[in-house]
Structure 1
Amino acid sequence: MTRRLHVFVIDDSVPDLLLAEEVFATFNDKVTVTTYQSGQAALNAMWLSDAVYPDIVLLDINMPKMNGFEVLKAMKTDARLKSIPVVMLTTSLAAQDVTQAYSLFANSYVVKSVDFSQFLRQIESLVEFWTRSRLLNWPTPLSMESTSSIRLKD
């Protein structure tokens, strides 16, 4: 049996977190969800010495104190966290937000649907894709030392 997909959802909106929990509950045989109401709380959890890393982070952009771009930048500049896939899950359609997310190495950018059934389909697609695409060695990320010994033959 395949290990369940572990997803962190980071969003300051309690209704959005409750909606995410409700939608992910339909996949409870495949997914474990941990929610955080702030980027700092999620980062603190991932920075613990005995942290269990998620397979994927779903990250809102518009949050007080530390916005999603700041969380993304902190993750991608940290050697322990940089290989964790991050999907920006937001209501923003702004081109500059999409550009900034990808320039900070987001793995995907998804605009949340306001329609519940469409949002359910979005999450279903994310679960299917990331269940197939996740790193098999997770939750232990590959270190730079272990990958530096890999050599390509000419």
Structure 2
Amino acid sequence: MRTKIASRPIEILLVEDSKGDIGLIEEVFEEARIRNNLHIAEDGEEAILFLNKKGRFLDAPRPDIILLDLNLPRKDGREVLQEVKGDPNLRNIPIVVLTTSKAEEDILRSYDLHANAYITKPADFDQFVKVIKSIEDFWLQVVKLPSK
């Protein structure tokens, strides 16, 4: 497998409230051969504060990509998606919806709100690891991300 050497680490914002999923995603990205910084927001309000560099996130980097769960406390992922894609300063950040929902209405709504991809989290551990690795392979190694 070839590795790509980035001039700077890829900044990833993971918006996820499941401690188990966070731990697994952190583990997979730590094993990645591409330099990345994984930042965690455990609810939608925290994600918006991070993106707008407010509160404890004054020094937060601009993410190169956002991995977004839909079912979040305080502000759900649909609201975050709508707010980010409606903001001219943030809308070009790719957002990959990574959720347990298989509902057609969630898929359609996410794409209507301009999600860049919609992935359903598998229940099986090995499949979940494969999905996260495929996100890493495609979004961090293949795709050309906007530089700001």
**Normalised-by-shorter TM-score class:** 0.7 to 0.9
Q: Please name the residue that 2:134 is paired with.
A: 125
Give the CA deviation at 1:39. 1.4
Is the Cα contact below 8 Å between 2:94 and 2:116 reproduced in 1? yes
Q: Distance in 2 between matches of 1:53 and 1:59?
A: 15
Q: CA deviation at 1:129?
A: 1.2
The reply to whether residue 83 of structure 1 matches residue 92 of structure 2 is yes
Q: Which runs of 4+ in 1 moved over 3 A?
A: none
Paired residue for 1:6, among 2, 6, 11? Answer: 11
Q: Percent identity?
A: 38
Which stretch shifts more, 11-20 or 32-41?
Answer: 11-20
Q: Which runs of 5+ in 2 are unaligned?
A: none
Q: Is the 8 A contact 2:29 2:36 kept in 1?
A: yes
Q: CA deviation at 1:51?
A: 4.1
Aligned equivalents of 1:28 and 1:62: distance in 2? 30
Counting matched residue pairs gives 138
Q: How far apart are residue 50 of structure 1 and its match? A: 5.3
The equivalent position to 1:98 in structure 2, one of 100, 107, 110, is 107
Distance 1:51 1:81 in 2: 14
Give the TM-score, by structure 1 length.
0.82
Superposition CA RMSD, Å: 1.7
Structure 1 distance, partners of 2:20, 2:137, is: 24
Q: Contact 1:9/1:36 (CA < 8 Å) preserved in 2?
A: yes
Report what 1:22 is aligned to. Answer: 27
